[in-house]
A and B are shown apart, each in its own frame.
Chain A
Amino acid sequence: MAMEIAVFSPRRLAARLAEGIDGTLLALSLLLVTLGLATLFSASYEYPGRVLAQLTNLCIALVAMWLTAQVAPQTLMRFAIPAYLLGMALLIAVALAGDVVNGARRWLYVGFARFQPSEMMKLALPLMLAWYFHKHEATLRMRDFAVGAVLLALPVALIARQPDLGTAALVGAVGFYVLFFAGIGWKVLVGLAVLGIASLAPLWSLLHDYQRRRILTLIDPTQDPLGAGYHTIQSTIAVGSGGVTGKGWLQGTQTHLEFIPERHTDFIFAVFSEEFGLAGNVALLVLYSLLVARGLMIAANAATFFARLLAASITLMFFTYAFVNMGMVAGILPVVGVPLPFISYGGTALLTLFVGIGILMSVHRHRRLVQT
């Protein structure tokens, strides 16, 4: 080791850096990020500082990815309980002493900065569930799935209470994927689906006014053109007016006349879609599909039950985010605060995504060596 440092050679350093890095995943995610930066440049034309800030975020995220990729899945398992408990503690702290922004208690101040503990749960929950099912792998019974469901429901309920229904649903979805891949029975799944549909009516009565408005505006956005419907109306126009080839980079009128709200964060896809058109959208869908395919492949070849569950659920998390965000901008899903993975502006989300990529890389590096 000492020798290695003493005899410094760029090639050796490059080899050390590349160790454990999956080229396909890195290439796909960097391609997506590049598209994101180009779109961000257009969306925040008046604030060129945002592109620089996002580049800084990217550097931090890449370092985090590299570090995660060096950690073996066996070691990750040890983080499952502490990460989950810490996440829960932070969520409870938010409920008790969080900062209220836009009417919801989501942020927590930690001395220098504020952050959303719900963001941490996006990885901590699948980690915890994967660990739990791995531990009971040999004897998985209904009871274990029930325990898993409770572990899933606790953070989801806390996040939903903030209220942040969008993130709650997404964290819930990621947890559900673990249950699904762990082998929850098909009959149970069908039963849950039926139960879910049956509980729609009572659930409706529990929703906040603004949440109901958002769903109602989805059906008819013109009902509330000043409020919730405004986002949907304007983003749909942006997407539709993009046409097959788009208006061209920096040429989006909806974007540059500032009709698109939150156009550098949650609604960045409207900008992308307006300027790059259907061709751009298809390219984006292909990139996401490849990313998901690579992730699922890694999961299928993972060495342990834990690694399989974790890799598969994180992969589907990428998919869910992309699907929900694009669906929201295209006006077929309600407006919830979900960023478009690798594209939207925002440091925390980018960090979570690249740590997820790092986990996939680590799982891939420690895959089953012998094909059976």
Chain B
Amino acid sequence: MKFAELKDHERELYYFQLRVGVAGVAVLFAFALLFARFFHLQVMQHDAYASKAEDNRISIVPIAPNRGLILDRNGVVLARNYSAYTLEIFPALIKGLDRTIQELGEVVEVQAKDRSRFRKLLAETRNAESLPIRTRLSDEEVARFAANRYRFPGVDIKARLFRQYPRGETASHVIGYIGRINTRDQERLAELEVAANYRGTDFIGKAGLEASYQQELHGSTGFEQVEIDAGGRGIRTLARTPAQAGNNVTLTLDIKLQEVAEFAFGERRGALVAIEPSSGGVLAFVSKPGFDPNLFVDGIDPQSWAELNSSPDRPLNNRAIAGLYPPGSTFKPYMALAALELGKRTPKSAINDPGFFEFGGRRFRDSKVGGHGYVDLYKSIVVSSDTFYYQLANDMGIDAIAGFMDKFGFGSRSGIDLEGEAAGVLPSPQWKQTRFRRPEQQKWYAGETVSIGIGQGYNAYTPMQLALALATLAANGDMYRPHLVSHIDNLRTGERRHIEPTLLKRLPLKPENLEFVKRAMAGVNREGTGARAFANAGYSSGGKTGTAQVIGMKQNEKYDEKKVAEHLRDHSLFIVFAPLESPKIALMVVVENGGFGARAAAPIARTVLDYYLLGKVPEAALRGAGPDEEGAAD
């Protein structure tokens, strides 16, 4: 037994050593294979490779593609490229950077702004071969530097393509801007496995469509095989694969309509979104104030950057998709539709409005002191009765409200082709659960439901969501994904890709209920809160005013505009679609701290619709004058 075990042990060891021998042979074989390869490369083909390395040092030089253009729906150019001379420094080749810049200043003008921008670029960019100290040199400056070039090794003039936004501030939040590729961009490009296609490219879309359509606009990088001498200087080009320009992107946006809308805003803050209900195409997209995207192109100088960032008006904030506003009374048509659909009200349901709704020992006041008297469902929209909707919200309950509003896209991202869209808040007990931490904050109180009914309380939506909900209502329940791009052209192949309308959902709404709500909204613009702004319009339309509170009022406190600081005044909102039958445009305006919806927002909507439907250009715009206080006097 003992013997057998020992024997086994020995046999096992023998087998192991056999395998070790096999492994040893395999190792030798593999190394022999490597030796054969080395022999092949270093002896047989040595001459060929030696000449490749020693005599013909081939460098592969990337050729950056031209960036695609951005055009409005009628072909008006919104973003283009132009060629200009830049003075560039190769930091790796320079010993005393400060002294060099100092001396450069004697040859061409170098302002403090240029210097601080250069410093910023140097800090932000990794492995950059060259960075611009001056852009857009005049011909004279180019000549002056050329004469002094021998004094500046490591500094050179380059012809580069620059991005230009000929319309300046107009539609700046839509178009966005490009900027230099920084370390973070480099990491993202590496993650997307496209870093090779960005060799030689310095700029990348940072905001707006420039960012969201970056891949389309960029094109593909070409390359040149260049022979270089021992010092690394190019001697001649051996082969060349040209770069392919990026695709041109054409928008659904009408830049003239956009200009009219932005003009109508004047200096006021706010947002406007106009959508074609039958396709989801965005016709106008305003976020005021805007900014000049041209500032970003060469790398923004720190001072302008600080100004844009620290301004209390927050011009870089894209209010149309990232600004959150309570909808105010513009919420009421959807509440009425919900009541009809869920059988909570009929067109004949009526109340007597005393000017307040009492709930849980608290009075929810109507904006009209003394109330509107006898109010049925139609009148509740036309005169915008708060009392009616306090009661309705209480009858429906928060779950039914949230369930219905969710279908219209309230509180969810619309999916528009821009980055940075906010989701907003569709209040519900579940939302409170996840939003708050402390148990007493997590509880939903019945009183909170009451103010939800008039679009106040926790309600907070982006203008884009409010416009999308309206477009869905206007299209009888068909919801199309809002999009800014109409088609993309590949200039090389001539191929055109249309962005087809995407039907997100088809809400099963009863036609008679839709008909009723639309008729009531038409009543708003004919005889209700929107009547003054839409007097003698020359087309039919359905609208709804809204006034969103920025600060909460105490129970017996009366809101007095004059006593409240400007930035705490009510937001003015207006939603409108036109024409009534087969609507061509659904539009949402919010004017921050603009007061009553009828006063600030509705006239802007009227101006935009007049232009879109009738081609009427505002007179003040024709005169070239800025908008005066006329709008506020309405």
Contacts and interface: CB of A to CB of B under 8 A. Distances in A.
A230 B60 contact: yes
Contacts of B30: 319, 323
A227 B54 CA distance: 23
Contact of A244 (B23, B35, B37, B46): B46
B46 A323 contact: no
B123 to A, nearest CB: 20
Nearest to B24: A296
Interface string B207-232: 00000000000000101010010101
A285 B517 CA distance: 85
B42 A240 contact: yes
B192 to A, nearest CB: 8
Interface string B24-41: 100110110111011101
B196 interface: yes
Interface of B is mostly: helix
A274 B50 CA distance: 10
Given A239-B38, A241-B52, A253-B57, A289 B31 contact: yes
A369 B439 CA distance: 72
Contacts of A277: 42
A4 interface: no
Nearest to A245: B42
Contacts of A253: 53-54, 57, 230
Contacts of A243: 42-43, 46, 50
A181 B191 CA distance: 40
Nearest to B60: A225
Given A103-B191, A285-B34, A239 B42 contact: yes
B31 A285 contact: yes
B2 to A, nearest CB: 14
Contact of A308 (B16, B23, B190): B16
Contacts of A241: 46, 49-50, 52-54
A332 B37 contact: yes
Contacts of B199: 226
A235 B190 CA distance: 22
B98 interface: no
A296 to B, nearest CB: 5
Given A225-B60, A277-B42, A278-B39, 6 more contacts: A183-B12, A241-B52, A241-B53, A312-B20, A326-B34, A327-B37
B45 interface: yes
B232 A226 contact: no
Interface in A235-282: 236-244, 253-254, 257, 259, 273-274, 277-278, 281-282
A181 B20 contact: yes
Contacts of A330: 34, 37-38, 41
Contacts of B363: none
Contacts of A226: 60, 62, 196, 199, 221, 223
A236 B60 contact: no
Interface in B50-90: 50, 52-54, 57, 59-60, 62
B19 interface: yes
B91 to A, nearest CB: 13
B553 interface: no
A210 B43 CA distance: 33
Contacts of B15: 183
B306 interface: no
A234 B52 CA distance: 10
A300 B16 contact: yes
Contacts of A372: 10, 13
A236 B42 CA distance: 10
A183 B19 contact: yes
Interface of B: 10, 12-13, 15-17, 19-20, 23-24, 27-28, 30-31, 33-35, 37-39, 41-43, 45-46, 48-50, 52-54, 57, 59-60, 62, 190-193, 196, 199, 221, 223, 225, 228, 230, 232
B43 A244 contact: yes
Nearest to A309: B16
17 contacts: A103-B191, A183-B19, A225-B225, A226-B62, A227-B196, A241-B46, A243-B46, A257-B57, A259-B59, A289-B31, A296-B24, A308-B16, A323-B34, A331-B41, A332-B33, A332-B37, A372-B13
A306 interface: no
Contact of A100 (B16, B191, B221): B191
A225 B223 contact: yes
Contacts of A273: 38, 42
Contact of B41 (A177, A236, A312): A236
Interface string A287-329: 0110011001001100001001000100010010001001100
Contacts of A224: 196
B23 A102 contact: no
A239 to B, nearest CB: 5
Nearest to A302: B16
Contact of B23 (A239, A257, A296): A296
A239 B31 CA distance: 16
Nearest to A242: B42
Contacts of A299: 20
Contacts of B13: 372
Contact of A240 (B27, B31, B49): B49
B42 to A, nearest CB: 4
Given A230-B60, A243-B43, A282-B35, A236 B49 contact: yes
A244 B41 CA distance: 10
B193 A240 contact: no
B94 to A, nearest CB: 15
A362 B461 CA distance: 69
**Which of B35, B50, B228 has the most chain A CB atoms closer than 10 A to its own CB?**
B50
A320 to B, nearest CB: 9
B191 A288 contact: no
A279 to B, nearest CB: 9
A289 B37 CA distance: 17
Contacts of B37: 327, 330-332
Which 4 A-B pairs rank lowest in CB-CB distance, beginning with the nearest? A240-B49, A241-B53, A227-B196, A240-B41
B495 to A, nearest CB: 23
Nearest to A236: B41
A127 B313 CA distance: 64
A253 B54 CA distance: 7
Contacts of A100: 191
A102 B190 contact: yes
A244 B42 contact: yes
Interface string A103-144: 100000000000000000000000000000000000000000
Contacts of A296: 20, 23-24
Contacts of B33: 332
Contacts of A312: 19-20, 23
Nearest to B192: A103
Contact of A237 (B10, B12, B49, B221): B49
Contact of A323 (B31, B50, B191, B230): B31
B42 A278 contact: yes
Contacts of A103: 190-193
Contacts of A183: 12, 15-16, 19
A372 B35 CA distance: 37
Nearest to A239: B41
A281 B42 contact: yes
Nearest to A281: B38
A300 B50 contact: no
B243 to A, nearest CB: 12
